[in-house]
């Protein structure tokens, strides 16, 4: 009888330990998933902002060399670059045509161009209460992200114009 009761005690201890692991997992799993969500939102925001900055910079470089009347082509170019952002609301809310793109040329013929791109990101439900910490919000509670890039197409130290440059070789 003594050996049997010892085996029973060992088996009971093993069952209790398994039950304890289940309780620990039930407590730790939601905490781990919450931490994962907290890390996921900033990653999505940083990716979207990086793509927006890249699209604005490439569009500004294109505008320096393009004709001033080709704003629609430059806008299409920017939208094509912004298509790298997934059409998921935690990356960009509103769909691919909801980007606000502003293109501007300098009034003086110095070649200065500026590109401004704005979009909205819907925060994850857990983080919706803290959306203001990520930036300004719109009426739907989405975080508004905006980038602006400006370039000088012709630096101030450069003298003369195209005709003057070509006269050197004539």
- CA distance linking residue 28 with residue 25, whole number of Å: 5
Cα-to-chain-centroid distance, residue 69: 30
**At residue 22, does pLDDT exceed 80?**
no
Contact 92, 86 (CB under 8 A): yes
**At residue 47, does pLDDT exceed 60?**
yes
Q: N- to C-terminal Cα distance for the chain?
A: 115
Contact 91, 47 (CB under 8 A): yes
> If pLDDT is split at 50, 70 and 90, which confidence band does 132 have?
low
Contact 113, 77 (CB under 8 A): no
**At residue 24, does pLDDT exceed 80?**
no
For residue 13, the model assigns a pLDDT of 53
C-alpha distances in angstroms, 38 versus 43, 49, 108? 9, 18, 47
> If pLDDT is split at 50, 70 and 90, which confidence band does 109 have?
low
> The pTM is what?
0.70
For residue 95, the model assigns a pLDDT of 85
**At residue 64, does pLDDT exceed 90?**
no
């Amino acid at each position: 009888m003594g050996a049997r009761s010892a085996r029973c005690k060992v088996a009971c201890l093993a069952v209790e330990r398994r039950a304890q692991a289940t309780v620990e997992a039930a407590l730790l799993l939601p905490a781990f998933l919450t931490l994962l969500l907290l890390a996921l939102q900033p990653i999505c925001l940083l990716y979207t902002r990086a793509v927006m900055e890249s699209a604005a910079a490439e569009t500004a470089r294109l505008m320096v060399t393009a004709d001033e009347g080709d704003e629609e082509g430059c806008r299409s170019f920017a939208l094509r670059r912004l298509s790298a952002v997934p059409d998921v609301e935690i990356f960009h809310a509103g769909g691919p045509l909801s980007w606000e793109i502003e293109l501007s040329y300098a009034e003086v013929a110095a070649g200065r161009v500026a590109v401004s791109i704005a979009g909205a990101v819907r925060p994850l439900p857990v983080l919706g209460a803290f959306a203001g910490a990520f930036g300004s919000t719109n009426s739907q509670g989405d975080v508004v992200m905006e980038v602006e890039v400006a370039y000088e197409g012709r630096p101030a130290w450069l003298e003369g114009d195209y005709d003057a440059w070509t006269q050197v070789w004539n």
